Homo-oligomer: A and B are copies of this chain.
Amino acid sequence: MDEFALIRRYFAALTPNASGVALGIGDDAALLMPTPGHALVVTTDTLIEGLHFARDAEPADIAWKALAVNLSDLAAMGAQPRWFTLALTLPQADADWLAAFAQGLQALADRYNMALIGGDTTRGALSITITALGEVPQGDALRRDGARVGDAVCVTGTLGDAALGLRLGYAANGFLRERLDRPMPRIEVGIALRRLAHAAIDLSDGLAGDLQHVLEASGVGAHINVDALPLSAPFLQFADPGQRRSLPLGGGDDYELCVCLPAECIELACAKVLMPLTVIGRIVAEPGLHWVDADGATIAQSVAAYRHFT
């Protein structure tokens, strides 16, 4: 089967007559109709076999995650997902694999009524690059550079689950595997926090590294209470003592949001986001990321963020 037939057959269901699509797959390029008064939000992420997912990973999970990591970036901007392109490199064209992959992609795309609007299929080592496009009303985007002294630092959900799931492999508890294989982008949280949060970032590389980006971009520092980090019951059950502190800080792959918002807005924010939002610290004027424990004592915590080219 040739490239064109492949794309048509397995991804046809992913190109509904979605809103804002004047011309989808099938021409040299897609024609989209952006919403007036909105900024276009664009992000690109690649997943590579053996690096971002195991060689024996389920194709539906690979597809879900490839889209989810991009949507997590849109979530961190407060954007509404709209469209995406898929560049899929495959060692061979396997019908079962493609059918399962398309199904996993659609499962997540349908949650946000996203349309697949273009792509490319090539032969090579398995890798998936998705470019996701979203929209946010002009001026409402959440950015990294808006954190202010006195802001509360909050995170959604729980941290460290995916990193522990990765380390436990197939022995992992179902919840931990699900957190690793099928992360849920916090789109609704990002949208709910428009005009409320001062800054946001997604925790793809781990809290320590990602929060550092916010602090640098905003020219501030933070005191973070490591004893306040939200941990799931399965994480607490299966993590050894060393992992209990290192994975939530530096394990990566969490795809939760870290947001900075005025302390007086916490209650309103918690009510709006419809999921756990935990205060883990506060923004201070002194630069740097300062780890403290529940008693307020400074602790030395060396945490390296996940780096692809360390």
Contact = CB atoms under 8 A, between A and B. Distances in A.
Interface of A: 1-4, 6, 22-23, 26-34, 36, 39-46, 48, 50-52, 72-74, 76-77, 79, 83, 85-87, 89, 93, 117-125, 127, 129, 131-134, 136, 138, 141, 143-145, 200-202, 217, 307-310
A124 B308 CA distance: 10
Contacts of A32: 39-42
A39 B33 contact: yes
The 9 closest A-B pairs by CB, nearest first: A29-B43, A28-B76, A131-B131, A44-B85, A28-B73, A34-B34, A32-B40, A87-B129, A129-B129
Given A29-B41, A46-B129, 20 more contacts: A3-B308, A3-B309, A27-B143, A27-B144, A28-B77, A28-B144, A29-B74, A31-B41, A31-B136, A33-B138, A42-B117, A44-B85, A44-B118, A44-B120, A46-B89, A48-B89, A51-B124, A87-B87, A122-B127, A127-B127
14 contacts: A1-B309, A22-B39, A28-B43, A28-B74, A29-B77, A30-B41, A31-B41, A32-B39, A32-B40, A34-B40, A42-B131, A43-B118, A44-B129, A123-B308
B308 A44 contact: no
Given A42-B83, A44-B118, A202 B309 contact: no
A120 B125 contact: no
Given A27-B144, A93-B309, A48 B123 contact: yes
B51 A123 contact: yes
Contact of A87 (B44, B52, B118): B44
A72 B118 CA distance: 15
Nearest to A308: B3
Contact of A119 (B39, B44, B86, B133): B44
A133 B85 contact: no
Nearest to A41: B29
Contacts of A40: 31-34, 40
B307 A46 contact: no
A52 B117 CA distance: 23
A78 to B, nearest CB: 10
A79 B42 contact: no
B36 A31 contact: no
A34 B31 CA distance: 13
Nearest to A38: B34
Contact of A28 (B3, B121, B125, B202): B202
Contacts of A85: 42-44, 131
Contacts of A89: 46, 48, 127
